[in-house]
Structure 1
């Protein structure tokens, strides 16, 4: 797990969906004046250069955010995402920087909101600390984010968005993630839980999601894009967001996103899923 660096994957197709869903979740919660806490279990470095060796080595952003950068026909559900990426790039017309989840949240944080960011990788910790130096709305925790989540809930605000976004490099992550979410939900049942998951081994992924479905937790929504058909070969073929307690209208926005992204980012044998796996 400590070898994982998100810079290799920043701005790829999975980030597009993850961050578009995250931003709309924040926006929908901010329709109420009361503040909330954003908890990130695997915060990363904050932001990423798309010109550095990590991004250039894989080039994954070219098949992700770069395809949206100059798109003339973005639907409203993706305009918020692109506006935030453009803002992060400042006055440049070129796509040279990509905001990680903490940076995106930071750009949309109100005075009454706050962040709790967990990161275990020492280099990412240093970069995150530099990014948020002196920011009193941000609490940084250098440690295991899953353990940290259980310590951070329930928050004083009684409103919260929790992003769980591990690397899944260690196979036990799948079980640990499901177990942690179930325990966190028992302590903080009204929080919005955003679980990002990869589709590398479909059987393993579905086993994790089935554990959540069997937990007795209500209101679980699957938002998934597979850029190609499931495969036994090496590599990720898709990714999704599993949302517990999605705010009203998130499913409608997600449907519009997926329908647009499917032909733009996916191959001919790709697919999308938008399913209420557990209802009210």
Structure 2
């Protein structure tokens, strides 16, 4: 309960995670039928980059600030960047939309989302922020177990975003259990799960466990600031994608190398790994 995302809002990991989230939503919006989004670790929804927390770390300067200043971003980033710009009228970067406000900025009138937050102060901030928006439900719950009461949704289409703080040692184990539960409850839902990349071995062990669980097609996208050799540094950002929508892999191939070169020009890299292949069609 010590983690507060206000210190890290808009950093390179946020940019990567939210850019992919916007691509997934764009895929869902190809159909007129409504979709449902579940954000299991919602935070406070949006962040003041001039507040003491963000100013103390300055992490956004190496993330969203560099991306907004870079020339000729890939067209696939435009839905994400349009929402960020809408929060910063006049061009000066002062605010950053977290995943709840990013989702709200991308949703249509027929779509719906549930925001889950365990921190007692943060959940009240969420309730105040989204009060009156009938498309949004706010729940004071443990994000890892929220799926049990909120899935499957009546919409049948949609996504789950898991963005745990990774402040305890067994976070990968908890995330694996939540992924298994979510796939069982909602086999056709898209699931995005964020994780930090510090040392290489914990991430590789996580990948082996995910692949061993089986299930639908699963990708692992990585954006690295530097090689993952020092387990005491945040060397990169990873995002697991279960049931990736059509053309997501091709879109990731275009945006991730550009993001790596933008936020880490001295040695950034990106890769996409297929952990579980798409099941072949029967005869």
1:259 equivalent to 2:251? Answer no
Q: Is the 8 A contact 1:200 1:234 kept in 2?
A: yes
1:76 aligns with 2:46: no
What is the RMSD of the two structures over their aligned residues, measured on CA atoms? 1.2
The residue number in structure 1 matching 2:96 is 98
The yes-or-no answer on 1:34 pairing with 2:33 is: yes
Q: How does 1:233-272 map to 2 (within 5 A)?
A: 233-272=231-270
Corresponding residue SS for 2:34: coil
TM alignment of 1:18-167, pairs within 5 A: 18-89=17-88, 91-167=89-165
| Distance (whole Å) between structure 2 residues aligned to residue 243 and residue 260 of structure 1 | 20
Q: How many Å apart are 1:71 and its aligned residue?
A: 2.0
Retained in 1: the 8 A contact 2:199–2:232?
no
Q: What CA distance in whole angstroms lies between the structure 2 residues aligned with 1:67 and 1:267?
A: 10
* Unmatched segments (≥5 aa) in structure 2: 279-283
What is the CA-CA distance between 1:80 and the residue it aligns to? 2.0
- Greater CA drift, 75-84 or 48-57: 75-84
Q: What is the match of residue 206 of structure 1?
A: 204
In 2, the alpha carbon distance for the partners of 1:152 and 1:205 equals: 28
CA offsets 1:209-266 (integer angstroms, 9 cap, x no match): 3211111112111111111111335221001111000100111111111121122112
In the alignment, the residues of structure 2 paired with residue 34 and residue 103 of structure 1 have an alpha-carbon distance, to the nearest angstrom, of 21
Residue 154 of structure 1: CA displacement?
A: 1.1
Residue of structure 2 equivalent to 1:186: 184
What CA deviation, in whole Å up to 9, does each residue of 1:157-189 have, x standing for no partner?
111210000001011221011111112211210
Number of residue pairs matched?
A: 278
Q: TM-score, normalised by structure 2?
A: 0.95
**What secondary structure does 2:79 align onto?**
helix
Residue pair 1:228, 1:267 contacting (<8 A) in 2 also: no
SS in 2 for 1:155: coil
Contact 1:125 1:142 in 2 (8 A): yes
- Identify the residue that residue 277 of structure 1 maps to in structure 2: 275
**How big is each residue's C-alpha offset from its partner over 1:5-63, in whole Å with a ceiling of 9 and x where there is no partner?**
00111000011110000011001111111111100110010000000011100000000
> Aligned with 1:92: secondary structure?
coil
Deviation at 1:267, TM superposition (A): 4.9
Q: Comparing 200-209 with 254-263, which one deviates more in the overlay?
A: 200-209
- Would you identify which runs of 4 or more consecutive aligned residues in structure 1 move more than 4 Å? none
Which region of structure 1 is more displaced relative to structure 2, 204-213 or 140-149? 204-213
Residue 85 and residue 38 in structure 1: after superposition, are their counterparts in 2 closer, same or farther (change >3 A)? same
Distance 2:49 2:219 in 1: 32
Give the alignment's TM-score, normalised by structure 1: 0.96
Would you say the 8 A contact 1:88–1:97 is kept in 2?
A: yes
Unpaired stretches in structure 1, ≥5 consecutive residues:
none
